[in-house]
Amino acid sequence: MAGILFIISAPSGSGKSTLVSELRKQVSGVDFSISWTTRPPRGSEEHGREYYFTSREEFERMRAESMFLEYAEVFGNYYGTARHSLEDARRVGHDLLLDIDVQGAAQVRKSMPEAVSIFVLPPTPKVLRTRLRNRSRAEGVVNESELYRRLSEASKEIENYRDYSYILINDILDRAVAQLEAIVLAERYYRNAEPIVYRSSRVLEVAAACRQSNSRERLKPVLEAFGIDGISGQQQLPFGDDLDDD
C-alpha cells in the first residue's frame, strides 16, 4: 500500500463516525489515527479507543514539544493528531485516516498537499437537526440553545467544502460507505500502489463522481438548503427554510 493520508471532515452530526467505522470494517490497510483531546469522555468512550483524553496542561506541553502534526480548538476543547500516528502507519505501509475538523485539515493540507481530503455533508438541515437532537437525547442532554449553536456552526463549517478533494452527501448510509470505499480504492489505484482486481471501472466511476469538481449538481440543493450560495460560498440565511419539523 502507498501510505496515503486521508483526511475526513464534517460538521458535527453528519454521521461521519458511522461512515468511518463502516469503512474500517470493509477496507483493510487503513489505520485510524486516535486523536488527543482535552474534552471529557462521552458515554461509553474509552481512553485509547475513541480518543486519548488528557488535561489542558498536558496538551499544551505536548504542543510546545511539537508532538502534534496539527491541532485545533473545537467547541472550547483542544484536539490534536500525534505526529507518530503518521510515522507508525508509514512504517507498516498502511494508509492513515484522520477524522479532524476544518482548521486541522487546512494545517495538514498546507504541510502535506498530497493528502486526500473528503468532506461529508448531511443532506439537509432538517436531517442534521434530527441527528443532533437524537445524539443529545442519547447523552441525556437536550439543550435547545446548544442545538442552535451546533447548527449554526455546521452551516459555517460547510462553507469550507471547496477546499476538499471529494464530497460525500450522507443521505443513504450504504451508498455513502460505498462511495468512501471507492475513493480509497481509486486513490490507491491512481498511485499505482494497488490494482483494483475486480469492479475496477465501477469503483473509478463512483470515486470520480464524488470529486468536488464533479459534485456541483449534487451539491446545489444541499448548499441551498443550508442557505449557502454555491457560487461565492457565502452564507445567505441561517439554515435555509427547511427546519419546520423533525
In the complex, which residues of this chain contact ligand 5GP (CB under 6 A)? 12, 35, 39, 70-72, 74, 79-81, 99-101, 103-104
How many CB atoms within 10 Å of residue 162? 11
Which lies closer to ligand 5GP via its Cβ, residue 79 or residue 161?
Answer: 79
Determine the Cα–Cα distance for residues 152 and 6; give it in Å rounded to an integer.
Answer: 27
Q: What is the DSSP letter of 47?
A: B
Which lies closer to ligand 5GP via its Cβ, residue 146 or residue 229?
Answer: 146
Which residues, 6 or more positions from 142, have their beta carbon under 8 angstroms from its beta carbon? 133, 136
Which lies closer to ligand 5GP via its Cβ, residue 67 or residue 208?
Answer: 67
Half-sphere exposure in the Cβ direction for 95 (13 Å, CA): 27
Residue nearest to ligand 5GP (CB): 104
How many CB atoms within 10 Å of residue 63? 14
CB of 122 to ligand 5GP, least distance (A): 13
How many CB atoms within 10 Å of residue 72? 18
Which lies closer to ligand 5GP via its Cβ, residue 35 or residue 170?
Answer: 35
DSSP letters spanning 100-144? --HHHHHHHHHH-TT-EEEEEE-S-HHHHHHHHHHHHHHTT---H
CB of 97 to ligand 5GP, least distance (A): 11
Which lies closer to ligand 5GP via its Cβ, residue 76 or residue 195?
Answer: 76
CB 212 within 8 A of CB 161: yes
Which lies closer to ligand 5GP via its Cβ, residue 70 or residue 95?
Answer: 70
Beta bridge partners of 5: 96
| Type of residue at 15 | G
CB of 241 to ligand 5GP, least distance (A): 26
